[in-house]
Amino acid sequence: MVWWSPYKKHHIDYHRRCGQIECRFTSDREASSDDYFLGYLFDGAKITLNDLPKTRKYDEYWGLYYDSSPKDVPFLLQSIHLFNFTSSFSRYSDVPLTLQSFTSLEELINYKLMYTFGQKSAFQKNMKLAPILYLQSHCNTLTGRELYVQQLGRHIAIDSYGTCLKNKSFPANIEDDATNPRDIRNFYDFVSKYKFMIVYEDMVCEDYISSKLWKSLTLGVVPIYFGATNIRNYLPNPGSAILIEDFAKPAELAQFVQRVSTSEEAYTGYLLHKTVDLYPITNQPLVDYLFKQDIQLVKNRKARTIAEFECYVCAQSSTGLKKQAEKREFSCILPHFPPGNVTYKAMPRVQSFIEQTRMETAEIEKMINFVGK
């Protein structure tokens, strides 16, 4: 198998034993002329429209590994069928990466990683913290994230760090960059002092969950969430997050958050995964997923998932059976905004993205010449 767009910068060439089968994986494109050539693998984060194989034989396999936001490679939304095997955020992928950003079950339920309601109230008063934290450096999103947060901020105080809607700077012991803190321990400690954190995805797709959700849950900061259409399947408990989609407009959300922020009973009800010793996680879909996947192996998780994907491709391609990836593996909704009509200004960029997707898809269909043996 040839890694056409490899996951590493340096040259790849090794053999991997997968059960009774052994496959060679290389980034040497000349190896595609080898008699034992089976197909190409692509790291979706490194795919470029102008650098794809110009021909494809009918018995050639294509595999896609993609662990980033769907917005970064528009044509994948319409061209996922080009691939026979996938490893992506979708639970329908051959090797799902849905919980790729999940840290560990131990950290998720560890109460020692969080501050109590009383401590947070004291921080809020003494450090002049807002109830809500917003950390974001990617602006002008397809979901109108910054527009919604801006409107929400008219009704309740929000401390915004990063380049989007910035109104506050980090303490001196944390580098002033929301995506690249100098000391990660100080950074996490600082974040955990807040009661709420906005976790608003840049794309609305089934199963697409960014690392911010898991980080807020792990630190005991209640997430105010908008994104994955099936997010309820992945929360520790039914009440582990405040869902933006449940409120008709930002003002109603602000009023609700304000009430919760002043009630210890209401607030701690969102943190049962931290405060309950027996059965801290009651959401059965998440429990099933945790047992299904060996997600406790946090160290070098990406390397392990790539190895798993390579072995899957190796084993499946050796059978000679062909299949196509299904559209449901990139099930994204465009446009899709929260209730309230406050993000309508994002519509032009959504329309531009949709048109770009169509153009790239049409170009790919013309560019790749499917040939026989």
For 279-297, write each residue's pLDDT tens digit. 899 999 888 887 776 555 5
Do 138 and 250 sit in the same domain of this protein? yes
144 in the same domain as 286: yes
How many angstroms separate the first and last alpha carbons of the chain? 17
Q: CA 354, CA 312: separation in Å to the nearest integer?
A: 32
Residue 315: domain span: 2-98+297-371
pLDDT digits (tens, 9 = 90+) for 39-69: 999 999 888 888 889 888 888 999 999 998 8
Q: What is the pLDDT of residues 156-199, one digit of tens each?
A: 999 999 888 999 998 888 865 555 655 788 899 999 999 999 99
Do 312 and 255 sit in the same domain of this protein? no
Digit-by-digit pLDDT tens for the chain (373 residues) are 999 988 887 889 999 999 899 999 999 999 999 989 999 999 998 888 888 898 888 889 999 999 988 898 898 999 999 999 999 999 999 999 998 888 888 889 999 889 999 999 999 999 999 999 999 988 999 999 999 999 999 999 999 998 889 999 988 888 655 556 557 888 999 999 999 999 999 999 999 999 999 999 999 999 999 999 999 999 999 999 999 999 999 999 999 999 999 999 999 999 999 999 888 999 998 888 877 765 555 556 788 899 999 999 999 998 888 889 998 998 999 999 999 888 889 999 999 999 999 999 998 888 887 765 5
DSSP symbols for 96-152: --TTTT---HHHHH-GGGS--HHHHHHHHHHTT--SEEEE----S-TT-HHHHHHHH
Q: From 255, 274, 292, give the residue that closes a domain.
A: 292
Domains: count for the chain: 2
pTM: 0.92
Using DSSP bridges, classify how beta strands 21-26 and 13-18 pair: parallel, antiparallel or unpaired. antiparallel
Last residue of a domain, one of 272, 292, 312: 292
pLDDT for residue 302: 83
CB atoms under 10 Å from CB of 281, counted, come to: 18
Residues 220 and 315 placed together within one structural domain of the fold = no
